[in-house]
């Protein structure tokens, strides 16, 4: 795991004990810090508490529990007890936060309305996340570079693609942040390695000192506005990734939307040649990149190419990586081809802006859409509605989305995903695509977008 000497002897409050929170507790204890932790979910608290009789504890929260020997957790001596060094599991709202060096919160904690965040601010206690702890640990790691990638849409694919390019070029790399394993849970890289971090606005909000050698902003469209005073504050959160950079480090920005273009203009005035702009609508030959189809993936690929060039990767390694990249689950993932019909899982498209690129990628689409809506319209999708043969609406948003779409395409109100798959299977013809790109969150009918994608795959497999 990644630890910092600077944490030794300090006292941290940790709120949220899913994967990143549990990894944070383990790293802090390994560095000889004192930790008081809490999660509203009792199962996460129980997974964290050690049981010396079984030799387990400090589990991964939402992941399946695994046995962890105490000597695996740390160096010489965290005493997993409330006294002295070690761990205490207590409701943080009952404590005087002024006695702590920092409150470490998981990205899912809403800073704008959680009472503990207000309490920490009143006490003058820094509110940070695991990415800030990683930034603090960098000074003690072998010489390395960090790539930070943010944007409303496309950041997971771009992060994974950059990581794949580094591995293809033979450069040691780790991928973390909002994707994969928590960064503090991973082993430090050898000298010359590159950490590639996908960063949500929530994670950037909790970070003060991450100086990325290469920072990327793909786009900014309305999302997560329940966590911000307005869209301008959300955009400002994304821009902070560049404010943390040294002026001579590389900034790469898409300029296909007005907020991103404005940030790029401001940076260009102050930083000049260190700023690279990615213009929209760049014509690229994507025919040799099977997992990078559609105009949105052209932008993702172009961003990754610019990152790779900034890191000094050879052109042949970049080309090989683009050709061999396998894509990510639930992001325009082809799950089957049945009778000449391609079935595409784009369950990660949880808002209209992220669904629109998938609609632009195929000429004849049977579109499964709906869930828990993040708004009342599908305006971002309508420019590509000519590619839709028929729509199948599901979930809470189904009736509203059906009302919007009937002015443009035939609609079947399927209500459930399983029924939508069955109807589409009967109606789609050879050469057409059945696309699950819901333009809505999944929480009305599923645990998360991954559960929704797995249900789609199962329903498709049942047709075979």
In 203-284 the beta strands, taken as DSSP E runs, fall at 214-217, 250-254, 275-278
Residue 46 in contact with residue 36, Cβ under 8 Å? Answer: no
CA–CA dist 89, 44 (Å, integer): 11
Please tell me whether residue 200 adopts helix, strand or coil conformation. coil
Residue 219 known to be catalytic: no
CA–CA dist 453, 406 (Å, integer): 25
Tell me the sheet residues that pair with 412: 392
Tell me the sheet residues that pair with 89: 37
Residue 155 known to be catalytic: yes
Task: Say which residues have a Cβ less than 8 Å from residue 70's Cβ, sequence separation at least 6.
Answer: 50, 52, 55, 57, 80
Residue 178 known to be catalytic: yes
Pairing of strands 341-345, 333-338: antiparallel
Joined tokens for residue 347 = 């369950």
Residue 321 in contact with residue 168, Cβ under 8 Å? Answer: yes
Residue 427 in contact with residue 341, Cβ under 8 Å? Answer: no
Residue 170 in contact with residue 8, Cβ under 8 Å? Answer: no
Task: Say which residues have a Cβ less than 8 Å from residue 83's Cβ, sequence separation at least 6.
Answer: none
How many helices and strands (H and E) does the chain possess?
A: 15, 17
How many other CB atoms are found less than 10 A from the CB of residue 388? 22
CA–CA dist 346, 354 (Å, integer): 9
CA–CA dist 3, 185 (Å, integer): 9
Instruction: Determine which one of 144, 153, 155, 384 is catalytic.
Output: 155
Handedness of CA 133, 135, 141, 145 (dihedral sign): positive
Instruction: Determine which one of 224, 277, 408, 451 is catalytic.
Output: 224
Instruction: Determine which one of 144, 153, 164, 178 is catalytic.
Output: 178
CA–CA dist 257, 358 (Å, integer): 18
CA–CA dist 213, 137 (Å, integer): 16
Which residues participate in catalysis according to the annotation?
155, 178, 224
């Amino acid at each position: 795991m990644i630890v910092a000497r600077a944490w030794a002897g300090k006292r941290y409050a940790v709120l949220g004990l899913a994967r990143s929170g549990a990894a944070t507790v383990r790293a802090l204890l390994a560095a000889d810090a004192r930790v008081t932790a809490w999660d509203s979910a009792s199962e996460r608290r129980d997974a964290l508490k050690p049981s010396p009789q079984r030799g387990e504890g400090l589990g991964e929260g939402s992941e399946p529990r695994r046995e962890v020997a105490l000597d695996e957790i740390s160096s010489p001596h965290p005493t997993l007890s409330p006294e002295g060094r070690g761990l205490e599991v207590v409701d943080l709202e009952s404590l005087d936060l002024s006695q702590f060096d920092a409150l470490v919160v998981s990205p899912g904690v809403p800073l704008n309305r959680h009472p503990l965040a207000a309490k920490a601010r009143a006490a003058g206690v820094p509110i940070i996340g695991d990415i800030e702890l990683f930034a603090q640990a960098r000074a003690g790691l072998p010489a390395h570079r960090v790539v930070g990638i943010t944007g409303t849409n496309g950041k997971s694919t771009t992060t994974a693609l950059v990581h794949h390019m580094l591995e293809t070029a033979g450069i040691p790399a780790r991928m973390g942040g909002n994707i994969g394993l928590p960064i503090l849970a991973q082993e430090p890289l050898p000298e010359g390695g590159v950490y590639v971090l996908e960063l949500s606005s929530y994670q950037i909000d909790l970070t003060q000192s991450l100086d990325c050698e290469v920072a990327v902003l793909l786009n900014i469209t309305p999302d997560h506005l329940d966590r911000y005073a307005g869209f301008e504050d959300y955009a400002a959160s994304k821009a902070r990734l560049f404010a943390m950079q040294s002026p001579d480090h590389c900034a790469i920005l898409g300029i296909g939307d007005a907020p991103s273009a404005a940030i790029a203009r401001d940076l260009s005035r102050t930083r000049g040649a260190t700023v690279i702009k990615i213009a929209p609508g760049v014509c690229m030959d994507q025919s040799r990149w099977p997992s990078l189809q559609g105009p949105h993936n052209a932008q993702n690929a172009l961003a990754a190419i610019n990152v790779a060039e900034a890191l000094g990767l050879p052109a042949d390694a970049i080309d090989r990586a683009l050709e061999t990249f396998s894509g990510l689950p639930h992001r325009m993932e082809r799950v089957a081809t049945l009778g000449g019909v391609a079935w595409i899982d784009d369950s990660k498209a949880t808002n209209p802006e992220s669904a629109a690129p998938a609609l632009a990628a195929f000429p004849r689409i049977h579109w499964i859409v709906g869930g828990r809506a993040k708004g009342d319209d599908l305006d971002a999708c309508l420019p590509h509605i000519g590619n839709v043969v028929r729509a199948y609406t599901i979930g809470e948003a189904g009736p509203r989305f059906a009302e919007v779409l009937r002015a443009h395409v035939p609609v079947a109100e399927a209500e459930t995903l399983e029924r939508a798959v069955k109807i589409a299977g009967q109606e789609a013809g050879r050469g057409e695509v059945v696309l699950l790109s819901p333009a809505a969150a999944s929480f009305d009918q599923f645990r998360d977008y991954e559960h929704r994608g797995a249900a789609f795959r199962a329903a498709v497999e049942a047709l075979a």
